[in-house]
Amino acid sequence: MRWLEHFEEGLITFLMAAMTLVTFMQVIARYVFNYSFVWALELTGVMFAWLIFVGMSYGVRVGAHIGVDAAVKSLGAGAARVVSSIAIVLCIAYALIVAFGSFQYVHKIYSVGILMQDIPIQTWIPRIILPLGFLLLAFRFSQVLWRLAIGQDAHLLGDEAEQALKLKDDPSFGEVRK
């Protein structure tokens, strides 16, 4: 599954770079050449939506989501594992419910045949990221649940306090580099 991780990171990188490039080209065209790409805003919005839906599963994979885990940390190891497992199962259920609903939504748009406003493609094509993104999210939560079940270290959330303490103790923190 290494290819999926690299694909995910590559897609996020591509989307951020493409959004920046399209927006830069639109600004230059508008203010230098008094011309506007009518499709630029819609394309940027689509790329941003794709970035969000791919990024939410990436955040689960790397443990970057923000959460309040003080209560879980105050529990014993066994109780914390049970509470974390319940939370993950609920997250998987949520992701699958939303994936199912979004698949129905995309299928309805497909059957109606609505075109995008400024880009001549059918609306269902960019919106296919809705069910795909939530399926990928459910897959990432399933990976975390599996690691938790086999006893591996499974971080669902980032530890902001620990990261802040590491930064505080870093001698180069706060230095101005020349």
Is residue 176 a part of any domain in this protein? no
Is residue 177 a part of any domain in this protein? no
pLDDT band at 178; cut points 50, 70, 90: very low
Total number of domains constituting the chain: 1
Is residue 132 a part of any domain in this protein? yes
48-69: per-residue pLDDT in tens?
Answer: 999 999 999 988 888 776 665 6
Q: Give yes or no for residue 102 having a pLDDT over 90.
A: yes
Is residue 137 a part of any domain in this protein? yes
Kindly report the pTM of this predicted structure.
Answer: 0.80
Is residue 175 a part of any domain in this protein? no
Is residue 36 a part of any domain in this protein? yes
The domain of 161 spans 2-169
Are 87 and 68 a contacting pair, CB within 8 Å? no
The 3-state DSSP class for residue 153 equals: coil
Q: Which of 49, 50, 134, 128 is nearest to 96 (CA)?
A: 134
Give the integer Cα–Cα distance in Å for 164 and 160. 6
25-46: per-residue pLDDT in tens?
Answer: 999 999 999 898 889 999 999 9
